[in-house]
A and B are shown apart, each in its own frame.
Chain A
């Protein structure tokens, strides 16, 4: 019996060592996000007149009350919410994408590939064409993002456990693309400009109110998702298997789908289409830690936050004097990087 205990102890040590590497990855990503966020606040895209020294910015972050009013406005009211928004939106898209891929058993699933971004864009376009102002633009974007999720769900509901959810998502994507084109066809040149600009995706519209709303929604939904980590892990072994292990598969998928819809819709309605995060976050996480959802989900979320935060810095540096649309940055810089990862993983004898 004693020998048995000893063997177990050593096996447990092996298990703990395996997990230690994963905890290290989480800590490293958290640190990266923290410094990326600081870097994001430090970098300026504005004209030299508004440029602040690193010391002033850091002082202002540490002692906001002692800063000069000008510095305070630029750092606390403008740059900080944008930098934090990059983290929160990246985090929430990373979580949404990862959860979606798990419940749909499909590595192509993400809020954008299933049309949530497109539907939000359509909602925003309606508001722009009708001249409803920025609050209504976000509101309509949110409504349509939730609407497409509802449509996907109702169309795919007959068989939640198969590919029909993905198919209905793609069908909805095309529908909203066509509707958007129709709207743009009838819109004026100015309106078209606004629509295009909105659909590029941008963090620059962020203020504290939007940040707080997004953060609260993300803060409520992610724990609800992370809580079910083991059940999601069971799902990765196949729906049949998950049922045999005691998972209420349909219930879990419906719950996940609702939470994902909410997260994606809130993120996208304030920032527009920032593609690719919901797709690359989960893939990088899978390469790093595999399918154990206790690590995969948070690491995908942190990867999303890290990527978007880095993209936010790049979007300001790339073209001095103005902010490059961040949705373009995430795709143009992200895609080659992503390809190299995928090809590297395949050459390394990776599986599946």
Chain B
């Protein structure tokens, strides 16, 4: 098992209640595990706690090793992590931004191998024409794609991405998810994503982890998790779910929020 977390708990400084109370699950090799849940349920907090960015209680096992026993460098050699936060607009060239993904091996004088890997991944994402463009001159979608390239460029064995498809239009969203899927299957990485688009989550996830109130509410294959009952419980929304005959995955049609508010203008 490449990624396993046990009894993770984290309380924000000065907060009374923990955001995540007791979370345990496994993200198997060669599978995409997607964490879903309503806003503020602690998806990003979970990821930051797992990686030790937040000091949390509980154990995290990466590639069979306890995270507490790993050095900073070792952790980052193993894990590719993409934040939800947008990158600051910098004048760095796209190639330099991607090269930063290989920070562990970069020398002042950049080696050919690092440049080649960066160019390969840019080509894979059809970004090769942007190599020397300043990052700030890109569109929001292109920036996100460059962030993805930056995360994949160091060949991580464990891939953790917080909302990798935020700000992307449909074609880019699918391209990124297809890329993540191909990478996961071919390299056998254990991949953990958070996604807010439940239909995309159902389409691409091998396993879903539904969070509610700081614990794992449901866990399993998309067909078991995306049900009208579960969504009502976790999101407070009435939905209609049917299984697509084309993809065999559950599809969700939002109907109305449970708490009906009468908006009068």
Q: Which of B15-23, B94-102, B200-208, B232-240 lies at the binding interface?
A: B94-102
Does B91 count as interface, using CB distance less than 8 angstroms?
Answer: yes
Does B120 count as interface, using CB distance less than 8 angstroms?
Answer: yes
**Cross-chain contact of B103 among A8, A231, A351 (Cβ < 8 A):** A231
The reply to whether A7 and B119 form a contact with Cβ atoms under 8 Å apart is: yes
The answer to whether residues A8 and B119 also contact, given A14-B132, A245-B101, A246-B104 and a CB cut-off of 8 A, is yes
Does B108 count as interface, using CB distance less than 8 angstroms?
Answer: yes
For A, the interface residue count at a CB cutoff of 8 angstroms equals: 32
The reply to whether A234 and B119 form a contact with Cβ atoms under 8 Å apart is: no
Assembled-state Cα–Cα distance A136/B196 (Å): 64
Assembled-state Cα–Cα distance A338/B204 (Å): 54
The answer to whether residues A226 and B108 also contact, given A15-B115, A238-B87 and a CB cut-off of 8 A, is yes
Q: Which of B78-86, B220-228, B244-252 lies at the binding interface?
A: B78-86
Does B175 count as interface, using CB distance less than 8 angstroms?
Answer: no
Does B141 count as interface, using CB distance less than 8 angstroms?
Answer: no
**Cross-chain contact of B131 among A14, A227, A241, A291 (Cβ < 8 A):** A14
The reply to whether B88 and A236 form a contact with Cβ atoms under 8 Å apart is: yes
**Cross-chain contact of B119 among A11, A236, A243, A352 (Cβ < 8 A):** A11
| Contact indicator per residue, chain A 6-29, by CB within 8 Å of chain B (1) or not (0) | 011001101100100000000000
User: B136 to chain A: which residues have CB within 8 Å?
Assistant: 351-352
For B, the interface residue count at a CB cutoff of 8 angstroms equals: 37
Does B53 count as interface, using CB distance less than 8 angstroms?
Answer: yes
The answer to whether residues A237 and B100 also contact, given A15-B132, A291-B91 and a CB cut-off of 8 A, is yes
**Cross-chain contact of B115 among A12, A290, A292 (Cβ < 8 A):** A12
**Cross-chain contact of A351 among B72, B89, B97, B120 (Cβ < 8 A):** B89
Among A230, A238, A247: residue with most chain B CB under 10 A: A230
User: B150 to chain A: which residues have CB within 8 Å?
Assistant: 245
The reply to whether A352 and B89 form a contact with Cβ atoms under 8 Å apart is: yes
The answer to whether residues A291 and B90 also contact, given A18-B132, A244-B83 and a CB cut-off of 8 A, is yes
User: B262 to chain A: which residues have CB within 8 Å?
Assistant: none
CB of B98, distance to nearest CB on chain A (Å): 11
CB of A14, distance to nearest CB on chain B (Å): 5
The reply to whether B90 and A244 form a contact with Cβ atoms under 8 Å apart is: no
The reply to whether A238 and B76 form a contact with Cβ atoms under 8 Å apart is: no
Assembled-state Cα–Cα distance A292/B119 (Å): 18
The answer to whether residues A237 and B88 also contact, given A7-B123, A246-B104 and a CB cut-off of 8 A, is yes
Within 8 A of B (CB), among A195-250: 226-227, 229-231, 233-234, 236-238, 240-241, 243-248
CB of A295, distance to nearest CB on chain B (Å): 10
Does B128 count as interface, using CB distance less than 8 angstroms?
Answer: yes
Cross-chain pairs A/B with CB under 8 angstroms, 17 sampled: A8-B115, A8-B116, A11-B119, A11-B128, A12-B116, A14-B132, A236-B90, A237-B97, A241-B83, A243-B83, A246-B103, A290-B90, A291-B91, A292-B93, A294-B108, A352-B89, A352-B136
Starting from the known contacts A351-B91, A351-B134, 16 additional A-B residue pairs (CB-CB under 8 Å) come to A4-B120, A7-B128, A8-B119, A8-B120, A11-B128, A12-B119, A15-B132, A230-B100, A234-B100, A237-B88, A241-B85, A246-B72, A290-B90, A290-B134, A291-B92, A294-B108
